[in-house]
Amino acid sequence: MTISNSMKEEILHYLGDNDTTVFVTHLGQDYSRTNGRHVDPERIKRDLGITRKYILFVGFPQYRKNLTGLLKGFANACKELHEPYDLIICGDIETKIESDYPNILRTIDELKFRKYIKFTNYLETDDLQDLITGAEFFAFPSFYEGFGLPVIEAMACGTPVLVSDIPVMREVAGEAGTYIDPYDVDDISRGICQLLLDNDLREKLRIKGKQVASQFTWENTASRTLKCYHQTVKKDT
């Protein structure tokens, strides 16, 4: 079992296995349901000291997440915008394992853009949902992903997404994504400006994103997993 069709293709490429023996079970998200809780982006902004509109990234600061590319694209885009924005990076910034954090800090120093960059460690689910909901859009410019669960969670919150034009992101975000070339800083900058300057586009993507995210539920994951087990048992018997 694997979590995306993109990963299935990669497994088949390297292992040369039979197509019928690799099963895809997409992951799910819980953010479509608030269980009666009032989502309050303003509260988390006050708690974190966020005073400007912001773009959000959530994830582990590995090289493959392309945070240096996002930072450079953000710095370029800010020269074209009519008002200042913050870039919030939410993740395990204190870990030393496989972290690209030193390069991230070096890039920020080189860009002389420190006052517009804010870091926070991982938040509890309710706080993270509030932070995602309050973002102008969610940025995920990875070079490589197996699935991209944060993108699904952002869309479930009604937050537009800016994602890499790689097969798995097309599979996950579909028509709800704004796509950029993760290797091209100018294209990342273009995508940032496009989303921040086009209110109608953001509103369209909020609606489309919720529709796409609603297809990714843990109930569907469980159902597909059970179907995989049944098919495997039938083959073995």
**Is residue 235 in a domain?**
no
State residue 96's pLDDT score.
60
What's the domain count of the chain?
1
Listed in sequence order, the residues at least 6 apart from 50 whose beta carbon sits closer than 8 Å to its beta carbon are 44, 86, 88, 118, 134
**Is residue 134 in a domain?**
yes
Structure confidence by residue, pLDDT tens digits, 57-69 = 999 889 999 999 9
Q: How confident is the model at residue 33 (pLDDT cuts 50, 70, 90)?
A: confident
State residue 233's pLDDT score.
83
State residue 27's pLDDT score.
96
User: Considering the entire predicted model, what is its pTM?
Assistant: 0.93
Q: Which residue has the higher pLDDT, 94 or 123?
A: 123
**Is residue 56 in a domain?**
yes
Q: How confident is the model at residue 94 (pLDDT cuts 50, 70, 90)?
A: low
pLDDT at 143 over 80: yes
State residue 169's pLDDT score.
98
**Is residue 43 in a domain?**
yes
**Is residue 196 in a domain?**
yes
State residue 136's pLDDT score.
98
State residue 199's pLDDT score.
96
What is the DSSP code string of 23-49?
A: -B-----STT--TT----HHHHHHHHT
Which H/E stretch holds residue 172? Answer: helix 167-173
CATH code of 58's domain: 3.40.50.2000
| pLDDT mean over 66-77 | 97
State residue 35's pLDDT score.
63
**Is residue 234 in a domain?**
no
**Is residue 236 in a domain?**
no
**Is residue 222 in a domain?**
no
Domain of 49 in residue numbering reads as 5-216
From the CA atom positions of the chain, what is the Rg in Å?
A: 19
